[in-house]
Structure 1
């Protein structure tokens, strides 16, 4: 196995026609179906990079930017943005295309943290990421900062560290009523 791999070596892209069976009650493609496809392509990309079975550890923020219509082609693109020792961040971009007009829409982008596993389910070391150019460095740095921010946020609001009095003022203009019993 290589010690380092470029994002290009592990890139995966799939295109699928959206069928009536993929729709929700509003007639648009169900967000859950898109999330399922995103998880599948993140798995494929991470597995290709690590040459191992991978599991989803977390998904960072999923914003549905534009609805997807039944009959449109949906293209999902995945690439490795960050590598740690046993985990990697896979960037996933979702675009839809109206096949009659050719109009394309950016529907979603998200980041999946995937962890490589051996046959016994233990984490395994993965190849590092060979950064090519400014875009590769930007994506890696962004993922590293996103990870650090999540760790800080998690520890900041941990119940053993949380001081209520420090945060009461943040709630003044919110749609809440505070009741201390």
Structure 2
């Protein structure tokens, strides 16, 4: 397992020029740019697992006979705010392998500058290996476990894969919501979705807002400067675009500054071609005031579609889910209210994501 370990140091504490490239409008570090690095790191770790720890260059994909792509991102959880005055270490390794898949655990830590190292983010990527000629699943190298610590990581990777498979079977696109979820949805709609008190725009001061009024989107052309080794748009770049649009939506919806809490999941359905038109659409899916640690949570979905400029038809390439929390707890809380059945299912998906995040934080506090 340790053969695939890789790390990247970003010397924010000692390089003002680097900090200037990553700084956001509030004086912090742009999370979206760090996500680009994490996706690239997960890919490098996966190739290192397949090619060996001494590999220095990837070379031509056809000569290697295989390629690796990101299938999904299970979670990225922020554990503490980033300190822009300290160096940042991004690291990770393969912790579990299936027939053609690899679970990659990643970590971000603030290091040095006279303070003890602090873990600020933990996350997991699911990578898959494909034959370069047939594009079918290709078997990956089995994982050798050497220490009790590696055995514990391997068990975590196995549990994560099983949980992802279980969640897929419980998807609301396949099965109806549970009776408790249906009851919660009905109660919420009776309390907030009736009475005609909603304003037609999320920019109003009303406490309740129709989900359909929270959409925010942008269209842009994909240029070759953002291509990966497969000559498609780099997945980390898409993560950054989705994160920045989601942040803008969450900020305008809450009418306050928000902080990133978690990336709750990303699915990669198909690659994005260079030269294509990409439509990114964000929407507020769920809001919550029940979390004691974060009393004002906003769950945002961002969908990426490739637009066929000849026919106008669209194909979904990625589905992103993020959670932010509002910094000012004393501000008026705004609630998103679904109006259609499809929106109701999205509302329940957001509810599930926030409940899972709260459960993970609770387990971490016990540890």
Quote the residue 1:104 is aligned against: 117
- The SS at the match of 1:135 is helix
Quote the residue 1:3 is aligned against: none
Q: Work out the CA distance in 2 between the residues paired with 1:141 and 1:166.
A: 31
CA deviation profile, 1:126-179 (whole Å, cap 9, x unmatched): 111111232222211221112211221222133342146452234447767576
- The SS at the match of 2:127 is strand
Quote the residue 1:119 is aligned against: 132
Q: Which has the higher contact order (CA 8 A, sep 6+)?
A: 1
Match 1:158 to one of 160, 169, 172 = 172
Q: Work out the CA distance in 1 between the residues paired with 2:2 and 2:178.
A: 47
Change in CA separation of 1:178 and 1:115 when aligned onto 2, cut-off 3 Å:
closer
CA deviation profile, 1:9-40 (whole Å, cap 9, x unmatched): 11112212232111111111111111111111
TM-score normalised by structure 2 residue count: 0.43
Q: Work out the CA distance in 2 between the residues paired with 1:130 and 1:78.
A: 16
Conserved 8 A contact 1:29-1:67: no
Which blocks of at least 5 consecutive residues in structure 2 are unaligned?
A: 13-18, 52-65, 189-287, 289-334, 342-367
Shift of 1:113: 0.8
Q: Work out the CA distance in 2 between the residues paired with 1:87 and 1:59.
A: 13
Say yes or no: does 1:36 pair with 2:36.
yes
Q: Work out the CA distance in 2 between the residues paired with 1:10 and 1:145.
A: 20
Quote the residue 1:90 is aligned against: 104
- The SS at the match of 2:143 is strand
Change in CA separation of 1:17 and 1:161 when aligned onto 2, cut-off 3 Å:
same
CA deviation profile, 1:34-67 (whole Å, cap 9, x unmatched): 1111111111111011225321111111112222
CA deviation profile, 1:85-124 (whole Å, cap 9, x unmatched): 111011111101253x234221101011111233234331
Conserved 8 A contact 1:20-1:70: no
Which blocks of at least 5 consecutive residues in structure 1 are unaligned?
A: 1-6
